[in-house]
Amino acid sequence: MESGTFERPSWLEAEFIEEALHSREEYEGVSVVDSKVQLAAGKGDNYTSVIHRVTIQFKRKNNDETTERTSLIIKSLSSIEIMAKFLSDFKVFEKETAIYQVTIPAMFRLLRQHDERRQIHCLTPFCYKTSRPHTLILEDLMTSGFKMADRRARLDLAHCKMTVKNLARFHAMSLALYDEDPTSMDEYSEKVYNDTSREMMMNFITSAINALANVVERWPGFEKYGDKFRRLLPTIWDRMMEIVKPKPNSLSVLNHGDCWVNNLMFHYCPATGTVDDVKFVDFQLSRYSSPALDLQYFVYTSPSEDIRSNYTELLLEEYHKELQDTLKILHCEHHEFTIDQLKEEFEEKSLFGLIAAATVLSAVVADPNDVMDLENVKEDGSNMDLKLVEKPLSGRRYKQALEKLIPHFEKKGLL
């Protein structure tokens, strides 16, 4: 046993760790002397996987004198039934492994070919190889000074600008890869909103919207919005399926797919304390579609209310400038996508943002005690108790956020 109530997984032994380390050139031939395992995500910080941090002492080949240290982040299949089924049915680990080990290296290969400055900036952690199914082993970014922001406080303007700029670089590189090899995006066709996933996803969405309606109509002055939310349900599936489709004669890119504050790791300048970098983690829901989907998801889950209310247009402009600059470096200027097109497409995808606010934002701002417990929910979600779903929706921070967002979405004609 480690960390009091935590039990180390039986498969997480020295041989497994060495196999992973040997897949990175700088650790070739090392031997593990000791390792310690702890849970790396607290309650409310991750919903789809079990995440461990493994701190390792090792020795290099032909050097028995010096012991060095490193650490890894290991993601494995959730023990929660509904999440395990979701991850398995949608081949989530396979997709994420492909992104880290195949797609992203190919994207950066193209950037290295075209960027004369050779200032190659990696946007993700290194992914180690493993033969164990449903397992992902990543570089621990904390060893390089990266850390998560406070999800409940959400992000200020500097963090948001840094995020959309790096998102633009990621999107642009994926477009260059698609130009070179259109089959490179085949793996990332829509997996969430399609006919195969309809039953499970509609059970989830129906529970989420009904629970939100029940909570909202108890707020003074918001009584009418309960039924407005419920009236979304008969058409929401077909509308969402249409929204996530790549748009003909427009830009399609590899979306992160789950771009919210907990999937961002920030670095800060030691001298000034200001944010100077961000890396993306958790590509389990990536899709090939409009860049506006990532932007909608991020804008309605992660910035503070002040930033969302007053700086969304600025963030779109920052994103667009970085997208154009990176496309130019990659010799992909022939892809025309004006700032007006981006803003129009962002508005067209507003329902995607509303669903993010209805289903994800509550988790962003929830206190640990208010986090939804999915332990006893069936794998198809059919027995999801509305009271269970209502718990994170009833928190003070979420109420404050929704009281601003509901009139905002109503003005857009979505409610």
pTM score, whole prediction: 0.91
Asked if residue 312 and residue 208 are part of one domain, the reply reads: yes
- Number of alpha carbons in the 13 Å side-chain half-sphere of residue 193: 19
Domain count across the chain: 2
Write out the DSSP string of 347-389: HHTHHHHHHHHHHTHHHHH--GGGS---TT--TTSTT--HHHH
pLDDT greater than 90 at residue 122 = no
Q: What is the pLDDT of residues 348-368, one digit of tens each?
A: 999 999 999 999 999 888 877
End-to-end CA distance of the chain: 51
* Domain endpoint, select from 58, 77, 96: 77
Residue 31 lies in domain? 14-77
Bigger pLDDT: 375 or 92? 92
* Averaged pLDDT for residues 293-318: 98
The pLDDT-based confidence of 3 (bands split at 50, 70, 90) is very low
In this structure, the answer to whether residues 62 and 107 fall within a common structural domain is no
Asked whether residue 23 falls in the same domain as residue 123, the answer is no
Residue 353: the pLDDT is 98
CATH number, domain containing residue 221: 3.90.1200
Give DSSP secondary structure letters for 243-278: HHSPPTTS--EEE-S--SGGGEEEEE-TTT--EEEE
- Average pLDDT of the chain to the nearest whole number: 89
Q: What is the dihedral of CA 252, 255, 261, 265, to 10 degrees?
A: -120
Indicate whether 94 and 235 sit together in one domain: yes
Same domain, yes or no: 40 and 25: yes
Residue 271 sits in the same domain as residue 333: yes
Asked if residue 315 lies in contact with residue 164, where contact means CB atoms within 8 angstroms, the answer is yes
136 belongs to a structural domain: no
**Under DSSP, is residue 69 helix (H, G, I), strand (E, B) or coil?**
strand
Residues 226 and 92 in one domain: yes
Does 198 map to a domain? yes
Residue 4 lies in a domain: no
Find which of 58-62, 73-77, 272-276 is predicted with most confidence, using mean pLDDT: 272-276
Mark whether 18 and 68 lie in a shared domain: yes
